[in-house]
Amino acid sequence: MPTMLITGGSGGIGAATALAAAEAGWDVAVNYRSRGDVAAELADRITAETGQHAIAVGADVAVEEEVISMFDRTVTEFGGIDCLVNNSGIAPGFGPFVDVSLADIEATWAVNLTGAFICAREAVRRMARSRGGAGGSIVNVSSRAAAIGSPFEWIHYAASKSGLDTLTTGLSKEVASDGIRVNTVRPGLMTTDFGPWAPEGRTERLKPGVPMGRGGEPHEIAAAIVWLASDEASYVTGAFIDVSGGR
């Protein structure tokens, strides 16, 4: 069975992706940083409902040694890795740009950008045909914020996701000959938007500005991720799918 490693997999888009992937025949490694009990429950649910092998694997994606250990455990458990979903993301420091603290900027970039880069590097090291791998794919979970800029809310977050988009563009070209596809899904306004970091009522306030008039659901993002990871997208690399209701 093909194996998918999902960072930030214990809730929201990550959990929805883990379930959708398992239903499509993937074995799944669900990464978590602090909610190990939740990730373990999700892994058990996946196995019970789909029959696919699933594990919970802890790592802070901003810490290189923990990322390497996470990949090593995944490969040991499943015999390889076929897809990385770079989904981990945080969004502290909501508000006007001039009020954002350096601590919030650094924390955001450490997870959303540096962490994603480290994970992608470790995936390539294990997937690249020139290194003895069998190829594979990387799906980066970015945001429409990368294009919109998120003024008065999360300019630093938007900037981190813009950097992730650049990773997709450059890396997709660099590793195509090694049998690795790299693509991006960019969610728009979500019903589960940013959990503890967003002010209450944000989705309701902003949804009139979405042409479809609502926030997105995690399973709608998961469907795009799983498609990009699948053989149905075998000729797709360096691509961006906006799942944003037209926003």
Taking CA 150 as the corner, what is the angle to CA 158 and CA 165, rounded to the nearest 5 degrees?
30
Question: Does the predicted TM-score (pTM) go above 0.85?
Answer: yes
Active-site residues, by number, are 157
Task: Tell me what pLDDT residue 215 has.
Answer: 94
172-199: average pLDDT: 91
Res. 196 pLDDT band, cuts 50 70 90: confident
User: Which of 85-89, 98-102, 197-201 is least confident?
Assistant: 197-201
pLDDT tens readout for residues 129-151: 999 999 999 999 999 999 999 99
pLDDT tens readout for residues 81-98: 999 999 999 999 999 999
**Domain architecture of the chain: domains with CATH:** 3-243 (3.40.50.720)
